[in-house]
């Protein structure tokens, strides 16, 4: 099935570092969502974006809806151990969500 391209695929960082990841698509979306998934658990919604250019924060997380409507970015500031997991972007065109391939975040002690 169709998936969005997320990069990087994986990240290894030290606690306290900032993190940036992005999601790109060949299609235009009218909504972008960012989810975090812990191993064996369901994805948890972090941030929802509804308007091109929109910048939204949720604590240490900030996400942006790209101006072209074909991309979105997620930044995590001052990472902490509980940030470990897989981050998925999801774009909504009509009614269906299309999910990205995921970015796996690992924090090195």
Partner 1 sequence: DSGVTQTPKHLITATGQRVTLRCSPRSGDLSVYWYQQSLDQGLQFLIQYYNGEERAKGNILERFSAQQFPDLHSELNLSSLELGDSALYFCASSATPRLAPYEQYFGPGTRLTVT
The only residue of 21, 22, 35, 76 in contact with partner 1, by rule CB under 8 A: 35
Burial of residue 18, with CB atoms counted within 10 A of its CB: 0-12 exposed, 13-18 middle, 19 or more buried: exposed
Say if CB 16 and CB 109 are below 8 A apart.
Answer: no
31 vs 77, beta carbon nearer partner 1: 31
CA 55 to chain centre: 13
Q: Give whichever of 16 and 50 is closer to partner 1, judged by the CB atom.
A: 50
What residues numbered 62-101 form the site for partner 1, per CB under 8 A? 88, 90, 92, 95-101
Beta-carbon count within 10 A of 51 CB: 12
**Nearer residue to partner 1 within complex by CB, 15 or 50:** 50
Helix (H, G, I), strand (E, B) or coil at 14: strand
Residues interacting with partner 1, by CB under 8 A?
1, 3, 31, 33, 35, 40-45, 48, 50, 88, 90, 92, 95-102
């Amino acid at each position: 099935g169709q998936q969005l391209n997320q990069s990087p695929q994986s990240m290894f960082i030290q606690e306290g570092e900032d993190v940036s990841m992005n999601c790109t698509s060949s299609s235009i979306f009218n909504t972008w969502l960012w989810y975090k998934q812990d191993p064996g658990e369901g994805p948890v919604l972090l941030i929802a974006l509804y308007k091109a250019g929109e910048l939204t924060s949720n604590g240490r997380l900030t996400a942006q809806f790209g101006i072209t409507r074909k991309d979105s970015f997620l930044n995590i500031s001052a990472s902490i151990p509980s940030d470990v997991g897989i981050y998925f972007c999801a774009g909504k065109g009509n009614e269906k969500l299309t999910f990205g391939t995921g970015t796996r975040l690992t924090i090195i002690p």
